[in-house]
Copies of this chain bind each other. A is one copy, B any other.
């Protein structure tokens, strides 16, 4: 243990040095022009074994062959092993995967794998502002920017690139989708040259950069008087400026655009459609093979709470579904997994069921904005597994669209300049799982969590089992003490942490639960706001009827009386009380489980996770008490089990 503790570093994340693995004497043989990959393989083996004993008896072959573009194979040979790939990137992925499997303790002879990603683009979105602050960042500040300039440590960027490549990421958008006047200038000098230097650091790892661009860049950057996408001058601006960008960074992946959303400019301000906006910009990058990721997070964020007709989850569909088929080939509509905003529990966005002739990206959020902010433990892999398996049409799971309509998987990252990247080291698991699931959506949360634990921590069976159990249950625990049954929000406005049941109730953000003395929720069925009509008929029917609606989404779709009988016979109100009392208890149990790991995980890991679990417990109790008191005050009905509800 002492030795392991000495070499463990949170900074190395899942690429830990390992002291426990049996080295194998071998010689690496790589083909022409594969020096970088050769070197990555060598460095990886040194991480695992401490050193490489050269031997002619056993050869590790790194080679390119005629596999698909990103496909690799891992094959044991007689007196050797072959890592092959259809491209340099593919080979690199093969090397990382090979190292990864060695790190889990497998012996080389047993490592057989043949793998290709389901989607072409696996992309990380940074919400980094150029002043260094990260929007919804819970792990420090940006490691790209400071004081409105590029300001980074080259070694750290290379380490970051390696971490990302090792889980299959091939695109990184470096700046916040909420572009300001400074970051709007990333597509022009002097910032462009700096961005090109950064791109060069990522390039060997097969990672291409993107930037978030400002829809009003024609005015802000170009000095024009309009950003109307059908204006000839505007079109010319985008073409000319993009040519400059591609001249500096020929393999630039493209632009990410948040338009007509939360006070951002967009085509609708000029009476144009989302397609008009996206296609104008897409036409400018098309000659260079560039892409435009166009976000669908468009809704009225100035709703009057008194307006019960407007229903926020319906907005994206209304804006984009009628435009299906009108987007250029290099436009990818970037759609959040759910129709609201990265809540603990939402149905899948109905756009995924209904865009048949449009290329799509699904956007997840690794940053735990609404899911505990890297204080409370929350394994997103568990939630993503459910989402990927959710139906988008009769008998058709969301993940079946991967490689079909869905050509890209993106996520808002949870990283920052904290030395362990993610603030809470256990949140590294979410980052790891994202990359792996984006590559292969069939992977289960359990597999990924287990894999991550194995390659990250040197601990004993109890340690591995405890961490696995904590992570696997964490999402359910968090959900049980926060907003119930898909109702969403109930968080403190603006910071989005901690309870505030009515916090968004009278605001302009369109997120209302409308709890009265006898019922709660918004009727989103075909008899209510009609949201369910945005789904294919089989799903619509399922959601429409309270009996067939998945119970965990009950309050997303229905307005329900507190005396409604749940499937197990409890009333809704009693269910709310129970889940909050139990959730807080389980949060306490998480802390107790962790406390059994002292001396089983490195001390700094033990301490920092423990401190967060203690904060989580306070948070869980606060949620329990505020939610229970809220409903007790509304109803006057006691908890059946007589537990303490404060007045």
Contact = CB atoms under 8 A, between A and B. Distances in A.
A516 B636 contact: yes
A88 B634 CA distance: 64
A647 B512 CA distance: 11
A518 B637 CA distance: 12
A517 B306 contact: no
Given A625-B306, A634-B634, A647 B501 contact: no
Q: Considering residues A506, A516, A647, which has the most beta carbons from chain B within 10 angstroms of its beta carbon?
A: A506
B646 A516 contact: no
A517 B634 contact: yes
A629 B647 CA distance: 21
Contacts of A516: 632-634, 636, 647
A151 B647 CA distance: 51
Contacts of A634: 516-517, 633-634
A525 interface: no
B308 A514 contact: no
A199 to B, nearest CB: 40
A517 B635 contact: yes
User: On chain A, which size bracket covers the interface?
Assistant: 20 to 34
Interface string A291-310: 00000000000000110100
A517 B514 contact: no
A626 interface: yes
A463 interface: no
Contacts of A646: 305-306, 308
A496 to B, nearest CB: 15
A515 interface: yes
A366 B307 CA distance: 37
Interface in A608-638: 625-626, 629, 632-636
Contacts of A499: 506
A302 to B, nearest CB: 13
Given A306-B625, A500-B506, A501-B502, A518 B636 contact: yes
A504 to B, nearest CB: 11
Interface in A221-275: none
Nearest to A506: B626
Contacts of A626: 506
Contacts of A636: 516-518
A308 B629 CA distance: 13
Q: Considering residues A516, A518, A632, which has the most beta carbons from chain B within 10 angstroms of its beta carbon?
A: A516
Nearest to A494: B494
Nearest to A644: B306
Interface string A505-545: 01000000011111000000000000000000000000000
A330 B197 CA distance: 68
Nearest to A502: B502
Contacts of A506: 499-500, 626, 629
Nearest to A507: B500
A465 to B, nearest CB: 36
Q: Considering residues A501, A502, A626, which has the most beta carbons from chain B within 10 angstroms of its beta carbon?
A: A502
A633 B500 contact: no
A364 B632 CA distance: 38
Contact of A515 (B515, B633, B635): B633
Contacts of A647: 308, 514, 516
Nearest to A621: B306
Interface string A477-505: 00000000000000000000001111000
A632 B500 CA distance: 20
Interface string A43-59: 00000000000000000
Q: Considering residues A308, A625, A633, which has the most beta carbons from chain B within 10 angstroms of its beta carbon?
A: A633
Interface string A458-479: 0000000000000000000000
A145 to B, nearest CB: 26
Contacts of A517: 517, 633-636
A455 to B, nearest CB: 42
Nearest to A622: B506
Interface in A272-295: none
Contacts of A306: 625, 646
Nearest to A559: B647
A633 B632 CA distance: 13
Contacts of A518: 636
A631 to B, nearest CB: 10
Contacts of A633: 514-517, 634
A241 B233 CA distance: 67
Contacts of A502: 501-502
Contacts of A514: 633, 647
A636 B516 CA distance: 7
A502 B500 CA distance: 9
Contacts of A501: 502
Nearest to A646: B306
Nearest to A501: B502
A516 to B, nearest CB: 4
25 contacts: A305-B646, A306-B625, A306-B646, A308-B646, A308-B647, A499-B506, A501-B502, A502-B502, A506-B626, A506-B629, A514-B633, A514-B647, A515-B633, A516-B632, A516-B633, A516-B634, A516-B636, A516-B647, A517-B517, A517-B633, A517-B634, A517-B636, A518-B636, A633-B634, A634-B634
Interface of A: 305-306, 308, 499-502, 506, 514-518, 625-626, 629, 632-636, 646-647
Given A305-B646, A500-B506, 15 more contacts: A306-B625, A306-B646, A308-B646, A502-B502, A506-B626, A506-B629, A514-B647, A515-B633, A516-B647, A517-B517, A517-B633, A517-B634, A517-B635, A517-B636, A518-B636
Closest 3 CB pairs of A and B: A516-B633, A306-B646, A517-B636
